[in-house]
Amino acid sequence: MGRYAEAFSQAKDDRESFWLDAAKGVDWEVAPTRALDDSAPPIYRWFPDGTLNTCHNALDRHVAAGKGDRTALIWDSAMVGEVRHYTYAALLDEVSRFAGVLAGRGVGAGDRVVIYMPMIPEAAIAMLACARIGAVHSVVFGGFAAPELATRIDDAAPVAIVTASGGLEPGRTVEYLPMVARALELSTTPPSTVIVKDRPEIGGAAADYDGWLDWEELTSAAEPVAPVPVAATDPLYILYTSGTTGKPKGVVRDNGGHAVALTWSMSNIYGIEPGDVWWTASDVGWVVGHSYIVYGPLLAGATSVMYEGKPVGTPDAGAFWRVIAQHKANALFTAPTAIRAIRKADPDAAELAKYDTSSLRALFAAGERLDPDTFEWAGEVLGVPVIDHWWQTETGWAIAANLRGLEPMPLKAGSPTVPVPGYDVGIVDAEGNALGADEEGNIVIKLPLPPGTLAGLWQDEERYRGSYLNTFPGYYVTGDTGYVDADGYVFVLGRSDDVINVAGHRLSTGSIEAVVASHPAVAECAVIGIHDDLKGQRPSGYVVLKAGVEIEPDVLRGELVAMVREQIGAVATFRDVTVVPALPKTRSGKILRKTMRQIADNEEYTVPSTIEDPDVLADLAKQIGG
């Protein structure tokens, strides 16, 4: 039996010994004697009697082992042309002093702290400082506007917000402070403490706002604090992600399972060992950034590169190759969109020839489907394996992957390879019946999920059960559709719900619809995710005007685009608006979004038998179909 098959069956049949063994990869204050608490299915807890501190595992233990001089974090900003190196000892110092700042403001174990920051080292420092004192961080992506930030503040009820003057996007600065101020106005539970990291190149500082505090001033006067042991089952963070409704889901990650799973994943999935240089080009606002810019590489004792910039235009399509060469990165993890953007700007990879990227051993892609074209191109130009792997905010680490450290397997274009040990993946039809090889259906995972996956949704067990556990009892519903081939390779085809993936960013069409529907000229609307060559998908809106309303389509479009940008954020990339006479519906009034998407994408479709008025669909096909 190969190493993969052995690990997979052990994780399935002898779960306790598999995960207790993996748990030896982290330092415990009190080592767990049990892996799984399965006393209250379908809710499970990992390492119920263990206690530890995640920050200690990410920093202190490496310093204690004599590795304080090793580089922990390299910050490379293509936006300001600066590179900063932090050794493990230096990062520990920064983190323990900022933890002292938080503790000094009365932030304690279990308290929530919202972090709304761009890609600067202080974002990682703030996250680790929360972990150090047992506080629960909730990072909000900088591309979200004030109302989205306010929604998250209201749900998490934080005691503090940590932010910065702003972020830098090509051609513009994004000022965060006015957005934080607006979010606090909108919020029903505004925290009393706001800490601002000043970025002089942007402008806007704590001093501009009454009572807000300056990061530098606080940290220069702060005493470092020691890590606080917490229960393995205590929450480390809440990360909000798009669901099918406008209200985001607060995915809760625990401390123990998370530390064990991520440590295991770095060597077994990514083949990364202590001292290797690892680069994830994502953002700390997404799960990929949480797991693989901050926690994973530091838990593993590797060097993590944190990049502020884009794959193209900062300054050119050679930006990624420059970063790999300059920091001798051994692996890069990014979203397929980034590779497509590079290819579009530089189809012959002429920029690549300017850099020595020989340190690179593999390119990992996730966040959206890696299309076979991009897979082939990247493999050809880079000359290293291109590894698709599939996961979600909820799981926190890969569900399916080609396990480079454990046992590399042949790659198949279009497939993230096989289920990772711990994930018992199945395909079922709408009634929950198991499907066979190559049969397309809902992708489900047999419970319990492995360590490191969501412990629940923040203070909403009912929604957790309703969204993931109730549909097929005994299984977790991924929300993705796909199939498993005869060799056991997983193929992920797309979402079965109203979640869309734009440039690797997960968005809810429902929340965009809610904004569009609030325009006074709009009677009803549907927003669907349609194919986009660069970003994978993009949201496209179809609106029916109220009777008697006259408005130029361009004016309406301009107003709707501005509203979505203001209420959700630039990241929604909402640009397409089409006025239609009516929306196709079922007799029970459900909008036929899937059929609309098939029409817009020029795919074949069948007219659903439940359709209310086939003429509406036929007219729509004439108007929007290719």
Among 261, 249, 306, 290, residue whose Cα is nearest residue 121? 306
* 282 binds, options ligand COA, ligand AMP, none, Cβ within 5 to 8 A by partner type: ligand COA
For the bound state, the minimum distance from the C-beta of residue 335 to ligand COA, rounded and expressed in Å, comes to 4
Distance between CA atoms of residues 280 and 287, nearest Å: 11
CB 513 within 8 A of CB 526: yes
- Locate 91 and state its tokens: 């990062």
Which residues does 70 contact at the CB level (< 8 Å), separation at least 6?
Answer: 62, 87, 88, 274, 275, 301, 303
Nearer to ligand AMP, 341 or 477 (CB): 477
The reply to whether 258 sits near ligand AMP by the rule CB under 6 A is no
As measured in angstroms, the least distance from the Cβ of 288 to ligand AMP is: 7
Site residues for ligand AMP, 407-426, by CB under 6 A, read: 416
User: Do the Cβ atoms of 294 and 339 come closer than 8 Å?
Assistant: no
Residues 259-318 that bind ligand AMP (CB under 6 A): 287
Residue closer to ligand AMP by CB (options 296, 479) is 479
Examine residue 315 and say whether the peptide bond preceding it is cis (omega within 30 degrees of 0).
yes
**Smallest gap from residue 335 Cβ to ligand AMP (A):** 8
Q: Nearest-5° angle of CA 101, CA 106, CA 112?
A: 90
Q: Kindly write out the interface string for residues 348-387 of this chain, putting x where it contacts ligand AMP by CB under 6 A and - elsewhere.
A: ------------------xxxxx-----------------
Q: Annotate 425-478 with DSSP letters as a single string.
A: EEEE-TT--B--TT--EEEEEESSPPTTS--EETT-HHHHIIIIISSSTTEEEE
Size of the site for ligand AMP (CB under 6 A): 21
76 binds ligand AMP (CB under 6 A): no
Q: Which is nearer to ligand COA, 191 or 367 (CB)?
A: 367
User: How far from the centroid of its chain's Cα atoms is residue 299's Cα?
Assistant: 19
Q: Which residues contact 2 (CB under 8 A, 6 or more apart)?
A: 407
Please choose which of ligand COA, ligand AMP, none residue 389 contacts, taking the beta carbon within 5 to 8 angstroms, the exact cut-off set by kind: ligand AMP
d(C-alpha 454, C-alpha 519), whole Å: 36
Using CA atoms, how far apart are residues 187 and 181, in angstroms rounded to an integer?
10
Closest approach of ligand COA to the CB of residue 505, in Å: 6
- Binders in 459-478 for ligand AMP, by CB under 6 A: 478
* Chosen residue from 263, 337, 501, 567 binding ligand AMP by CB under 6 A: 501
Strand partners, 196: 163, 214
Asked whether 166 and 79 are in contact (CB, 8 A), the reply is no
- Smallest distance, ligand AMP to C-beta of residue 504, A: 7
The alpha carbons of the chain give a radius of gyration, in whole angstroms, of: 24
Among 12, 67, 465, 495, which residue sits at the site for ligand AMP (rule: CB under 6 A)?
495
Q: How many CB atoms lie within 10 A of CB 60?
A: 20
What span, in angstroms and rounded, lies between the C-alpha atoms of 290 and 270?
16
Closest CA to 399 of 57, 8, 1, 5: 8
In the complex with ligand COA, the residue whose CB is nearer, 453 or 598, is 453
416 binds, options ligand COA, ligand AMP, none, Cβ within 5 to 8 A by partner type: ligand AMP
**Which positions touch ligand COA (CB under 6 A)?**
142-143, 167, 169, 174, 281-283, 286, 288, 310-312, 334-335, 337-338, 341, 367, 503-505, 570-571, 573
Could you tell which of ligand AMP, ligand COA, none binds residue 393, using a CB distance below 5 to 8 A set by kind?
Answer: ligand AMP
Q: Is residue 241 a contact residue for ligand AMP (CB under 6 A)?
A: yes
Residues 6+ apart with CB under 8 A from 397: 261, 262, 265, 269, 291, 296, 391, 420, 452, 453
In terms of CB distance, is 174 or 582 closer to ligand COA? 174
Show the binding pattern over residues 107-146: x = contacts ligand AMP (CB under 6 A), - = does not: ----------------------------------------
Work out which of 61, 310, 389, 593 binds ligand AMP, going by CB under 6 A.
Answer: 389
- List residues binding ligand AMP (CB under 6 A): 241, 287, 366-370, 388-393, 416, 478-480, 492, 495, 501, 506
